[in-house]
Amino acid sequence: MSRELAMMKCVVPLQGGPMTSQEIEDHLKKVQGWSLQGGAIEKTFSFANYHETMAFVNALAWIAHGQDHHPDLAVSYDRCVVRFNTHSVGGISINDFICAAKADALLQP
């Protein structure tokens, strides 16, 4: 299911408000390892070293730029915490899940 999300393109500008709790719960089942944390969806990606971490961050930045939907990132030596929410709707939107799936796809063979 996350593959279907990864093939989608973010909707800009978004119409309407944030997803409901039920919609968020349903979509979290489609993206492995993501969870709801403080009004955003979040996942920690782990790597062997700083070089791999930065390669992931740079690839994710390129995707975010192309989708016009940018995450909050916390980067350290061997991990990156990625958080998505949609400020323009005041919560979580389909765009967050599209970008989450695209982030996951970076690490799939």
Which CATH number is 76's domain given?
3.30.1360.20
**What's the total number of domains in the chain?**
1
- Domain containing residue 26: 2-105
Query: Tens of pLDDT along 84-96?
Result: 999 999 999 999 9
For the record, the structure tokens of 63 come out as 């995707």
Beta-strand pair 40-46/79-84: antiparallel
Is the distance from CB of 6 to CB of 98 less than 8 angstroms? yes
Tell me how far apart the alpha carbons of residues 97 and 52 are, in angstroms, rounded to a whole number: 23
Q: What is the model's pLDDT at position 108?
A: 87
Most confident of 3-12, 14-23, 77-86: 77-86
